[in-house]
Amino acid sequence: MPWLTSAQALALLGTKPQTLYANVSRGRIRARPDPADPRRSLYHGEDVRRLAARPAGRRASGAIAAEAIRWGDPVLASAVSTIAGGQLYYRGRDAATLAAAATLEDTAALLWGVPGPLHLGRPVDSVAPGVVPSLSTALAVLAAHIGADAPTIGRSQADLTDEAARVLDIVAATLAPGPADQPLHRRLALVWDRPEAGDALRRALVLLADHELNASTFACRVAVSTGAPLSAAVLSGLATLTGPLHGGAWRAVRAAVAQTAGDEQAVRDYFSEGRAIAGFGHALYPDGDVRAEALFESFEIPAPYAAVRKVGEEIFGDRVNVDFALAALTSAHRLPDDAPLVVFAVARTVGWLAHAVEQAVGGSLIRPRARYVGPPPELPA
């Protein structure tokens, strides 16, 4: 992926430098330091050309809305989290700093706006004792609850928050069964028989608890905007999370490591075939995914992953993201193959529920219009 200098980007865009910088801050154009001169920046060529191809002049509201769907301007008001200046904030608090000592329960209390830490571990009758932890089980149990759970319309925030804790208990019981008096990171470490991984898992859970209006969170908010129960909202989020461009991005990282065994020349050959993987770069973090850097502080990166990281960052010009870090963490502590998705799901359930309650209390029906591009309608004569 070619990178452009400031002069090249401005020549293509035909704008002032201030406009270029504004597009970078809004996530429309990715940027990174110039390896030859760190005081200068390079700009992602594809992003620049996409913006340069837009028609000049005032754009129609439909075009603006369409662009906003894909890494564009904010489209919903939320007090839950934001990404600003390359940092992730939970209700104004730096998530990376929070992850140094907080638990997911602490983070849930912060994101839900309740006195903390949150106390979980209530019995879940719908989960049979000894059930094998899996995402499929979580999906099935949540689906079974939807018919009996109350709609979210007209309920108080306190009532919804109490139900959110019950829904989180359901997810925890299906993905991290264990002693009710243990925090979720220790429950995961125990169920996987890796107690030494507890602190790294704690940090990962906090860092992944929320991420503004990502695809799964948007699905959650759409569901609850119809009045659907919180269990349905989380079910929507879990289903969306399974996609390879969202919660499944770590699989491509693991495949690259498996096929190259960390040999640097093999890695170069692998990537030279055009196999760009989702483990590098993030449109909202032009200087690098802060979640990945914070997670790397808690474990030693295995040599094969370190080699893929080194060569990949050199070739793509992008630093590794949290999907790469999750795959490396799984290898470092010999966790189950699906551990990245399980960690992601447990953590993000906290954020989904924060957004779902916020949407239920102060939002309205989310119902965008489609920009029709099919055959012309057959109008009456």
Provide DSSP, 261-297.
Answer: TT-HHHHHHHHHTT---TTB--TT-TT--HHHHHHHT
Write the CATH number of the domain with boundaries 76-367.
1.10.580.10
Burial-class residue 113 by CB neighbours within 10 Å (0-12, 13-18, 19+).
middle
Residues 180-193, mean pLDDT to the nearest whole number: 93
Provide the pLDDT confidence category of residue 359 given band limits of 50, 70 and 90: very high
Compute the distance between CA of residue 314 and CA of residue 35 in angstroms, rounded to an integer: 10
pLDDT of the residue at 112: 97
162 as an active site residue: the answer is no
DSSP state of 3: E
Which H helix or E strand runs over 31? strand 31-34
Bond prior to 340 in cis (omega within 30° of 0): no
pLDDT in tens, 95-107: 999 999 999 999 9
Residue-range domain boundaries for the chain: 3-63, 76-367
Residues 231-251, mean pLDDT to the nearest whole number: 92
275: pLDDT strictly greater than 80:
no
132: pLDDT strictly greater than 80:
no
323 as an active site residue: the answer is yes
The single residue of 47, 323, 333, 355 carrying the catalytic annotation is 323
* pTM greater than 0.85: no
The single residue of 145, 282, 333, 355 carrying the catalytic annotation is 282
pLDDT of the residue at 179: 83
Q: What is the mean pLDDT of the chain?
A: 88
209: pLDDT strictly greater than 90:
yes
Are the C-beta atoms of 270 and 260 separated by less than 8 Å?
Answer: yes
Mean pLDDT is highest, among 108-122, 227-241, 274-288, for: 227-241
pLDDT in tens, 19-74: 787 788 677 888 887 777 777 888 888 888 888 887 655 555 555 555 556 655 65
Residues 163-183, mean pLDDT to the nearest whole number: 90
Provide the pLDDT confidence category of residue 274 given band limits of 50, 70 and 90: low
